Structure formats: C-alpha cells, structure tokens
Structure 1
Amino acid sequence: MNLLDSIVIGAGQAGLSASFHLTRLGISHVVLDGDSEPGGAWRHRWDALTMRDVHGVAELPGATPPPRDGRRANEAVPEYFAAYEREHRLPVIRPVRVDRVDDEEGLLVVRAGERQWHARTVINATGTWTHPFLPHYPGMETFLGEQLHTVDYPGPEHFRGKRVLVVGGGASAVQFLGALAPITDTLWATRREAVWRTDDFTPEAGAAAVALVEQRVARGLPPESVVSVTGLMLRDQEREAERLGAYAARRPMFARIEPDGVRWADGAFERVDVILWATGFRPAIAHLAPLHLRNKSGGIQLDRVGRGTTAVRDHRIQLVGYGPSASTIGANRAGRSAAMGVQRALREASTRSRSV
C-alpha cells in the first residue's frame, strides 16, 4: 500500500493552489481530477463567455492570470491551468471520478471505481459546478418549451426570437439578461428583491464579503453564495439591457408552470418559450458522506484557524471551494490555508503516535 500524506480531490483553482502549497511544504500527495483535461469548471462554460465578461480569475500562487480580453474563457483559463500544472509539476491524475471517501482504521481511503488511494489527510476541492441546483415548481414537468440550467447555457444566439424567462437573483442571471435582452424578449423572476451594489467592488470589499460567508460556515450553517453578501453590479456590457428595462421589470416568483408559460400568484398568465434556471449550485460533497461531517443544520462546520478550511468534526479533512472559497475571491488563499491545515493534522497525528 502506498500511503500518501494527502490527497487533493479536484484540480480547479482551489485544488491547484492547494497542491502548489503542499509541494512547497514537502507533503506527499496526488491530485485526483474528474475531467479528462485541465481547466476545472471553466472547461464547461459557454462559448460566448469571454475573459472580458468574467468577474476575474484570482491569480494562482506565483502566476499571472490571463488578460481580460476577448478570448473565450473556456479556452484561456484551461490553458492557464494546464501551463501551471506543467510548470510546477503538480501530481495531477485524471480522469478520476471519486465515488466515496472512507475511514479505515484511522486512514482515509479514496475510492474511484476499482481504484483506491490511501492517505492521512484529504483536501476536498470539488467545488459546485457538477451539482447544479434546480428547484421544483408545480407543473414544471408539463412545460412544452425548453428548460435549461446555467450548466446547459448554449450562448445567446440560441435564444434569438424566443421569449425567455430568466429565473434567479445571482450574477449569472444578471449576465444572461445582459446578453439576451438586446436580441430577444426577456422576463426576470427572483425569490427576493435584487440588491444592487452602487460602490466599487474593491479587493477590500471582496475580502469583507468572504469574511461574512466564513462566519456562516464557522457556525456550521450551509454556505450561501458570496454574491448574497456582495450584492449585484452591472458591467458595461449589461448597460444596454438596463436601458431596455430588463432589470427594472423583475417579478416575484410564479406560482406554477403550465405547458406554454407560467402562472403568477395573482392569477395572471405569461407565455414563455424558454425557462432559463440561473438558480445556482450546491457543494459537490456527496462522496464525503461516509465521514459524517455534516451537523444537524445540514452544513459542515469549519474552524476559524487560518482561512477556515478545516472540518471541525475531522481535522484530517480540509474543504476548499466550499462556502467562502467557492469563488475566485477566496479560492487561492484557501488553498494555502488547506495545505497548512494538512501540515497541522500531520503534526497532531505524529504527536499522538509518539505518546502512545
């Protein structure tokens, strides 16, 4: 049996950052990635999303991110990640789809089909992209038009000439409306009134937003998105949609879905051809279920040491891309914190073994 000090699950931004810092600390590890090529979730973004459109990619440690230009994000970021893996000789193994992580006699066993790896610690960096959230509304199975989630978004041209209902109050919904309103008829529905940010989103403001999400996961509550505390902002490319009234006409959520549209709570009916669910994602952590990390609130409580990546119920487990690090704002710093958390856990284990 080849026993590793740590296994990183996921090779997105947080996972690569964690691997970089583990390497610098001399901690033996591998990175298991579910995709066949580098890039993480960025490989699956829609073709129309350019580097100019994204909110920004936080720098990986010791590297400069791609320029904010017109290149497709699903090409530029994977190339950036691939070059980073090569330059730093990160021990990435792919494709590996992890099924579960078990605790066997004090060692962690990471299983993927018939393969398995043994380690003293695990850094989970699986993010959220593979676990889209689709709420259920009465009648949605009767709808005769298209229903798409953010993960299925094919780009704006697909919707030209169709009446599109965008559902969701996050940054993706704002971006979709910005792209679609100038070329077709749109509607917008959210559960809550949109909260707009009017001041500049400085690095200090980003750090403050991450801190608020950290406080939530430190209490063991299920994480909410960073945008839930940052508020929404319009970029230059969304100003035309604003001029057309796409954001001012927000409606509260409909009561039910019918074959050719939606029925609002007041009984009014609205015909739509497409429902675009920009309803976000949930942490992809089902493979950690055998470790019983969740508490009664349904969340995984993280400590407040460093950036708060250590699972309180099991210090051998670090979570990055969860809660405050589930965005480019916090992912890079979380990788460093997780590596240091692994180092602490290894020291604790060594101290216990010497005292026995």
Structure 2
Amino acid sequence: MTRSTGVVVIGGGQSGLAAGYHLRRLGIEHVIFDAQTAPGGAWQHTWDSLRLFSPAAYSSLPGRFMPAQEGEVYPDAAHVVSYLADYEKRYELPVQRGVWVSAVHRDGEHLRVETDSGDWRARAVISATGTWTRPFLPAVPGRRAFQGRQLHTVQYRSPDEFAGQRVIVVGGGNSAAQIAADLAPSTELTWVTQRPPRYLADGIDGRALFDSATARRQALDAGRADTGGVALLGEIVAVPPVRAARDAGLLHAKPMFTRLTPTGVEWADGSSAEADAVIWCTGFRPALAHFASLRLRGTRGHIATVGTRAVDEPRLHLLGYGDWTGPASATLIGVGRPARDAAREIADLLTS
C-alpha cells in the first residue's frame, strides 16, 4: 500500500532535522526517512579526535542553542551526536529510522518515494542525504599497484592503529590537517597537498567562515562583485590540536606526488617515499543516486538549483550539500536559513 504525506524529507542528519523543524513550525505534514539506525547523522562515524570549527553556541540548529561541552571550546563529534538526538526528541520530529530511500519518481501531481519499507506519495520532497556516503578518491596513477593500506577520511578512526608506521595523508583541507595532526606524534608522517596549506588566522573559526560565505552569496544575489568568500580567508581552521602540531613543527606539507608505487609514492623530480598506508582526505560527492530516474544531474553531479529548489523539478528541494544549495549549508549553523527558505517555498506550493 502506498501512503501519502505532504512532504518527504530524505535524511535525518543535521539538514533533515533543520528541515523538519521549519516544516513543523509551519504546520506542514511531513515524514523524515533516515537510513541510520540511531540519531546523529554522519557525526556518528567520524574519527575519535574530530573537533568542530566553532564554539558550541555558533554550531547550533534553528530554535535551540547547542550547549557548551565541559572543558572544551570546540565540541567533539560525540557531543554533536548527543545534541542532535536531543534536538530530534525536543521537537518531536517524525523520524523513521533504518529506512532506505532507493528512488524518487514523478507521479502526476505527486512525487513517489520508493523505500525498503514501502512507497510514499508526497507533494514535495526535501533531499538532505549529504555527502558522507560518497567519498571521492582521485584517479592517481598506480593507485591499484600500491600494496599497503589505503583508506578515505570516512574510514579513519584513531592514530593507535598506525603507531610506528609510515603514513601519507593526502589533502589540504580541514580533515587532512586534523588527521595529520592526530598522526604526527606517533607515526612517520608525510602530508601532501595540491598547493601549500593556507591556515586561517588563529583567532578565526567557523563563525567568520559562515559570515564570509553569507556575505558572498548576498553580493552575488544582488549582482555585486564576487567578494571571494571563504577562499580569501584560508582553507584550514587552526583548531587547538592543529595549531599545536603546526607550532611544534610537526606539520610540513609536501607537494602532491605524481604516482603511487607498490611500496609508496613518487614525485615528479624522481624522489620517493615508502609508505605502509595512504589516507585520502580528498572530499566527497553529493549522495543523489535516488534521483536518477528524474534525470536532473548536471556537471560534477550537481542538480541545478535556485536557492534550494531544483530548477527542473520545483517540487524538489536540496538541502545541506554545500554552497550551491545555500551559503555554508553543509554546516550546523549554516543550514538553518536555507531550511527555512525551503519550508516557506513548499508552504506556498502546497497552498497554490
């Protein structure tokens, strides 16, 4: 039997919860499907030492401040999971867990959502599946020839399993810097980046990043010159563990190697390094396979949007995938505004 509702939200992490909060405030009937079996989204699966880039009060979803974590300026992932679980319970959000959405189809005036627990018909769909389930690995020559261990950010947990090993960390963003700092004291670390690491000033954290991303989007929307946004500030937030490792001289980045060998990596000048493991901190792609039948994907796997609304399917909104679906929308503090806008557009759609 196919059930019906006003809105189906796909994904019960931070973006799905923000969407549910605003839909609830507007009195819109909805259901939130989450493939995870417990609250917390991707934060349940991060490495042990991960820290937010901003203090708790500046890492909050709409309607409820994240409480500070005792003894920590920048909360860890476990604190975020607890906050998200409390948020979901506080607002009585209709999350159905362990439900996998396989496809979304057009069905007359509705969208039909196929799940492993049955089909649903909805007037609108919000996709909030994020990127964590689609790690990206670059096509570097020799990657299949390397005989050591290769893993992506999503598989890294702790430096304990690499103690005493020769480890290469690939990537110039926050994840790479945090993982490199984690590994530096106990491994023979080689950190490689496409270009020299660009640290934000030590006093700058996620608050400034959000403000910069928002100012850039406002300028572009108003037809003004591009402010450059976050890129002008730098790429790595110097959270305390990164700052400590950097200041201790443990973080020295080398340029990107040209190929992997069976026992390590090799650079263009012929120099090489042996390695027991390579950790690819090379980013993600949006998890949007459930929209394949709608044929909306464009370049780099993106769906063309105006704000959060899909250009070629106005009943569909995408939330939390990056700046193309709202300034800083992949962050806790940044997702609230685009979630509000999506809910308001859907309210207008439902009453039209």
C-alpha spacing 1:70/1:131, structure 2 compared with 1 (3 Å): farther
> Contact 1:165–1:189 (CA<8 Å) still a contact in 2?
yes
The CA RMSD over aligned residues, in Å, is: 2.6
**Structure 1 pair 296–80 and aligned structure 2 pair: CA distance change class (3 A):** closer
In the aligned structure 2, how far is the partner of 1:214 from the partner of 1:293?
26
Find 1:282's aligned residue among 269, 280, 285.
285
Cα distance in 2 for partners of 1:93, 1:158 equals 35
CA separation in 2, counterparts of 1:214 and 1:152?
Answer: 37
How far apart are residue 215 of structure 1 and its match? Answer: 8.5
Q: For residue 265 of structure 2, what is the amino acid of its counterpart?
A: V
CA distance, structure 2, for counterparts of residue 92 and residue 321 of structure 1: 18
Q: Are residue 27 (structure 1) and residue 31 (structure 2) matched?
A: no
Partner of 2:226: none
Residue 212 of structure 2 is aligned to residue 208 of structure 1: yes
1:74: how far off?
4.3
Structure 1 pair 215/99, CA: closer, same or farther in 2 (3 Å)?
Answer: farther
Amino acid at match of 1:288: F
Is there any run of 5+ residues in structure 2 with no aligned partner, and where?
222-228, 324-328
Q: Which sits farther off after the overlay, 272-281 or 284-293?
A: 284-293
Does the 8 A contact of 1:212 with 1:229 survive in 2? no
SS in 2 for 1:179: helix
> Using a 3 Å threshold, how does the CA distance of structure 1 residues 82 and 233 change in structure 2: closer, same or farther?
closer
Change (3 A) 1:3 1:239: closer
Match of 1:326 among 296, 314, 330: 330
Do the aligned partners of 1:171 and 1:227 also contact (CA within 8 Å) in 2? no
Separation (CA, whole Å) in 2 of partners of 1:119 and 1:186: 51
Shift of 1:244: 4.2
1:48 matched to 2:81? The reply is: no
Question: Any residues of structure 2 matched to 1:1-356 within 5 Å, and which?
Answer: 1-49=2-50, 53-56=51-54, 58-69=59-70, 73-113=76-116, 115-198=118-201, 200-201=204-205, 203=207, 205-210=209-214, 212=216, 230-231=233-234, 232-247=236-251, 249-295=252-298, 298-303=301-306, 308-324=307-323, 325-347=329-351, 350=352
The 3-state SS of whatever aligns with 1:316 is: strand
Cα deviation code 1:16-37 (max 9, x no counterpart): 0110110111111100001001
CA contact (8 A) 2:52 2:77 kept: no
3-state SS in 1 of match to 2:296: coil
CA distance in 1, matches of 2:104, 2:232: 32
Distance 1:27 1:59 in 2: 23
Contact 1:19–1:90 at 8 Å: present in 2 too?
A: yes
Query: Do the aligned partners of 1:262 and 1:270 also contact (CA within 8 Å) in 2?
Result: yes
Structure with greater strand share of residues: 2
Task: For 1:235 and 1:114, locate their aligned partners in 2 and report how far apart those are by CA, in whole Å.
Answer: 42
Q: CA deviation at 1:99?
A: 0.8
**Percent identity, aligned pairs only?**
43
Range that drifts further, 63-72 or 9-18: 63-72
